[in-house]
Amino acid sequence: MTTTVTENARRAVRFFELLSAKDVDSWGELWHEDARITVPYPADGFPEVIEGKDTIVSGFRTLMANFRSFQANLTAVYPAADSDAVVVEYRNDATLMTGTSYTNVNIAVFRFTDGLISEYHDYFDPRRFQTVVDALPRD
């Protein structure tokens, strides 16, 4: 399947629309089976790498259930010329189920295979995200 830079940018925007709606099932359809999330600076207790669509969707189902509200406000979308990459700048404004506010400013890098997200790198302040990780249910 051949895709254009514009289609990939639309998919990246859709990714955040679905997260903001907490529609993890539809959001999961955006991912390639062999997808990988990389978090270069993870909060304590959060993985640096998450591999495979099923693992990603399962993990985000748990993560998003931890939010009473979640809004990703996109401030810029940069499709890379002559590449399948898209860079998105965004700000999270959320409230955890505990009532605690969570905000962060992120930069995400998307890569696509066959029109599906195959790589997602998320750069953010791990100290702020620690609030979210600490509120996650423990196994």
List the Cα angle 77/80/82 in 5-degree steps. Answer: 155
Closest CA to 31 of 59, 73, 5: 59
Residue 49 structure tokens: 């790498």
- Does 1 have pLDDT greater than 50? no
Average pLDDT, the chain: 94
Residue 3: predicted pLDDT:
55
**What does the block give as tokens for 5?**
């830079």
Beta strand pairing call for 31-38 and 116-123: parallel
CA dist., res. 110 & res. 8, Å (int): 9
pLDDT (tens digit per residue) in 89-128? 999 999 999 999 999 999 999 999 999 999 999 999 999 9
Q: How does residue 2 score in pLDDT terms, banded at 50, 70 and 90? A: very low
Predicted model pTM:
0.91
Q: Say which residues have a Cβ less than 8 Å from residue 9's Cβ, sequence separation at least 6.
A: 77, 79, 86
Structure tokens that stand for 75 in this block: 């401030």
